[in-house]
């Protein structure tokens, strides 16, 4: 991740750390050096790590890989500010995604605070399913808790670097979500607290190896390219020009075929009249 992106992530993290004592000058420096979100595209997440679901049952992460791409996010449920914005941003994007949670993709949210328990995760899940407006999606959006060793292992695998600030008793962490392939590989990262539905949809379509989405989505992906430095999709001018050229050739071919067919029909009618 380049310096600009790392600085932006750290700036967001600083918003979460409030009330630092006047003499604690080391905390901001530590945040800038130790907190960040490093892309590890193509890396396999450890599917054998175990977390507790909302009912308190310990299950491996592989349980939630059900043949669909997965949106993965690391937050903590008693977070006073930034995590709420991340989850709200996810709900906003899901509502406008034109893909169906449970049918086209699943969501896994993991707490980075080992002290948080399934009861808290269950309450958080209920809140966000209500915000989503689809309480029936409970089997597709999972809110998990776990032990520190398991959390640390998953966070390290996906490049999610965070620290606990003793002065404020809060976690300093980056913001963003990750999209996994159905097999558990890191496919895309989206930064910040808002995730444009277009970007998330493209990420899910690509992560699914084009098994979800429409034919139009496949065509649009020819015109857009993922930029790992920004975590967004940008218009690729050359691909757009190539696509435009192909469409022009097809249109011209169709026009020529139409006139040739009309000319043949006209010739046959004249021959019929002559006989």
Q: What is the pLDDT of residues 122-150, one digit of tens each?
A: 999 999 999 999 888 889 999 999 999 99
Find the angle CA(134)-CA(135)-CA(136) to the nearest 5 degrees: 90
Mean pLDDT of 20-37: 62
Q: At what angle do helices 82-95 and 3-16 cross, to 10 degrees?
A: 110
Strand spans (E) along 69-204: 70-75, 106-111, 141-144, 160-161, 163-165, 170-172, 176-180, 186-191
User: What number is the average pLDDT over the span 224-232?
Assistant: 73
Structural domains of the chain sorted by starting position, each given as residue range(s) with its CATH number in brackets: 3-209 (3.40.30.10)
181: region left, alpha or beta (phi > 0 left; psi from -120 to 50 alpha): beta
pTM to 2 decimal places: 0.74
pLDDT higher than threshold 80 for residue 219:
no
Overall average pLDDT of the 52-57 stretch: 96
């Amino acid at each position: 991740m380049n310096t600009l992106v790392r600085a932006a992530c750290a700036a967001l993290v600083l918003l979460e750390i409030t009330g630092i004592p006047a003499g604690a000058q080391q905390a901001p420096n530590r945040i800038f050096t130790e907190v960040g979100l490093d892309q590890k595209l193509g890396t396999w997440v450890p599917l054998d790590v175990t977390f507790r679901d909302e009912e308190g049952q310990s299950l491996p992460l592989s349980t939630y890989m059900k043949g669909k791409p997965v949106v993965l996010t690391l937050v903590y449920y008693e977070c006073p500010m930034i995590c709420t914005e991340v989850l709200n941003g996810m709900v906003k994007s899901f509502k406008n995604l034109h893909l169906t949670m449970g049918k086209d993709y699943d969501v896994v949210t993991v707490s980075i605070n080992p002290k948080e328990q399934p009861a808290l995760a269950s309450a958080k899940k209920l809140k966000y399913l209500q915000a989503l407006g689809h309480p029936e999606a409970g089997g597709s959006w999972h809110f998990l808790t776990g032990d520190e060793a398991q959390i640390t292992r998953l966070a390290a695998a996906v490049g999610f670097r965070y620290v606990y600030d003793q002065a404020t008793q809060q976690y300093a962490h980056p913001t963003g979500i990750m999209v996994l392939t159905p097999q558990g590989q890191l496919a895309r990262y989206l930064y910040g607290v808002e995730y444009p539905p277009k970007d998330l949809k493209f990420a899910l379509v690509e992560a699914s190896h084009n098994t979800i989405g429409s034919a139009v989505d496949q065509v649009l992906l020819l015109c857009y390219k993922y930029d790992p430095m920004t975590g967004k999709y940008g218009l690729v001018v050359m691909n757009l020009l190539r696509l435009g050229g192909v469409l022009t050739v097809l249109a011209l071919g169709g026009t020529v075929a139409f006139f040739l067919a009309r000319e043949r029909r006209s010739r046959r009618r004249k021959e019929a009249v002559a006989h």
